Structure 1
């Protein structure tokens, strides 16, 4: 009986409850299957099917990231003006068209044009997707629903990666083109899902509202954005720094890197909903950011030990470090969702969600080079100042979030009002 209850509890924290939360999770999984397939095989597609050099691919990715960074806030304002669901759906259709055109791209200029356009569209749909989930759900349901979506995304990315193994094994131009078109098809299916979701009335903005960049003058909120962005470095640490450390500073087998990625995916699927408990309030979100930061500190102190061990003990230390960093990811993500679910005002939620993403995007631009230099190329001592940096961020999380909560958003004295009732689609 105890085992049965344990299994039932585990299933409840992986399979979302019937209704809107499940519908949002299903669309997330469908979307992620196509994107997981493309991401796993994109490097080969760019070099084999499009004939690009690795340097050209890297330059295109960097330029696209820069354009996306510059456009995050104004693109978020589009969501406030036209409605999250409409922007989300149009963005998915545009993304499907761009992926459909990818195999016909000729030369670096065409690749760069599609890459930049996809970055802009993806940034827009990312904001719209999150804003819709916040608008359509009751306050107490938002963080849990976003956690179920993250869990479903991990399932979808995993399935997509499995399919990519077949594509890479076939290793033909037709297979790589089919991979891209499959992603386009999944985007169209996702657009159908979004069209069938309940309608949410667009919150009316004041007649003489602030400009689209006014959110950047909200210093307390931008401080939270930068702080949360720094704490989102768990992704860079896991996918970039940890593998480089394993390869260059330990005696662990290379195959362990893939195993650690799989471990991260499994833990995210099983534990993301549990880890989001208590992050659905402003105070709870601040505490979640703090816990996430402290777990990153623990990771920075545990990982260097693996350079001093041998054999099975090295593997055990690396697995422990990976588990700690995964828990940091789950808790910090829940804290970030709690912030975007509670602080932004309804009429300017898109602009605020876009501004909140700025911190993470800045980390993605600077983090890989900076954290790798500090953690790996120093030989190991760089982990200790890195731990101190994250410790400061963790300690500052609660007071900075509290400061933002006391500060009115774009002239509004109160926090987010209750979401408006939704009208189901017949």
Structure 2
């Protein structure tokens, strides 16, 4: 597990850098519009989902190690290819290969954790998640330096550094011995959609999941438009969000002992997320001090919303799914989130371009409305009364 933790931390630093600077690199240095980038990212998401499905099947049937290794190597090569992009076709191919590499890493990574920590996989996942969060925040801080420097050379160096982290992760993975697959095979999956209660929850949750991209996608573009001289604050804001989330996630999850408490936590978190969107509705052009205070409020509201909402959503995921089909329901939940979250770049770019910030008001209202929909569909089912009585 130590090698896996080191692997996770090294790769997360690179991913933290890349996630913070990529949209600026695509638009400012490669010259593509935010709309074009959003379209490519949306299309590439389907490759990530396909890679995830293939990864999960192969990992369960044999070993997750070769699949995970293939994903890391493909990601390193695809990210490096961004440095040689000279036209739209090359750009599309690079982003598609990056998404495919990410997809191959998803389920194989999860299966690897389960194989290495059979006795207590939940504790192992929690420990790795802490390493991941801290490393991502370090990467975001380093990205702030790149954004502040602003030159093409700085961006290229940062992208190359991210590719190197995938190579290092692959080297560490090669030295990990993976236990054999457990005996027995899962039964034939049954469709989840007839369970309208869970399907509604998963779809609504996927749309609300747009919030996961607000700081990494919308904030850099917003700052470039309204305060181009303060680009460095993006890395600080994202790093602060990651560190606060790591500190607050456990307290935010404490005390959730029923569907009722999970619903309340989820609605409160959704309301905080909706309030955080209203930051983007204004330009905050009065002064640098006002901008800093507004950014502090944004990070606090967004982080509180993130930890409260995710705590409630994860509890509902386990409580609304039948225990005997938890894996199948979890897969439907993950695919729904992936497909709907792929709309995030389009939605956020549209909100940024909306006159007077009305797009952000609409997104805030939609977030609260969907949180209330989840609250309604997750009400405990009442026993049916006998109609003959």
Q: Under a length normalisation based on structure 1, what TM-score does the superposition of the two structures give? A: 0.66
Does the aligned pair in 2 maintain the 1:292–1:328 contact within 8 Å? yes
SS at match of 2:343: helix
| Structure showing greater relative contact order (alpha-carbon pairs closer than 8 Å, 6 or more residues apart) | 1
Residue of structure 1 in register with 2:103 after alignment: 123
Instruction: Name structure 1 gaps, 5 residues minimum.
Output: 1-19, 407-426
Residues 152-197 of structure 1 deviation map (CA, whole Å, 9 limit, x = unaligned): 222222344566668998949995785355123233145247x446
Which residue pairs with 2:164 in the alignment? Answer: 182
After TM superposition, the score normalised by the length of structure 2 is 0.72
Q: Distance in 2 between matches of 1:119 and 1:222?
A: 25
- The alignment partner of 1:68 has SS state of helix
| 8 A contact 1:205–1:348 mirrored in 2 | no
CA-based RMSD of the aligned residues comes to 4.8
Q: 1:33 to 1:308 in 2, by over 3 A?
A: closer
Aligned length: 375
| Counterpart check, 1:149 vs 2:134 | no
For 2:173, the equivalent position in structure 1 comes to 191
Cα distance between partner residues in 1 of 2:138 and 2:201:
34
Residue 32 to residue 301, structure 1, CA distance change in 2 (3 Å):
closer
Mapping of 1:20-419 within 5 angstroms? 25-39=5-19, 53-55=30-32, 62-63=39-40, 65-69=42-46, 72=49, 75-76=52-53, 79=56, 82-83=59-60, 86-87=63-64, 89-102=65-78, 103=80, 112-113=92-93, 115-130=95-110, 142=122, 146-161=125-140, 171=153, 179=161, 181-189=163-171, 191-192=173-174, 195-196=176-177, 201=182, 204-206=185-187, 209-210=188-189, 214-245=191-222, 253-278=230-255, 285-300=262-277, 307=284, 312-340=289-317, 352-374=329-351, 377-402=354-379
CA distance in 2, matches of 1:64, 1:170: 22
CA–CA distance in 1 between the matches of 2:222 and 2:152? 32
- Structure 1 range deviating more: 152-161 or 109-118: 109-118
Deviations, residues 114-137 of structure 1 (Å, cap 9, x unaligned):
542432342243234346657857
Shift of 1:215: 3.7
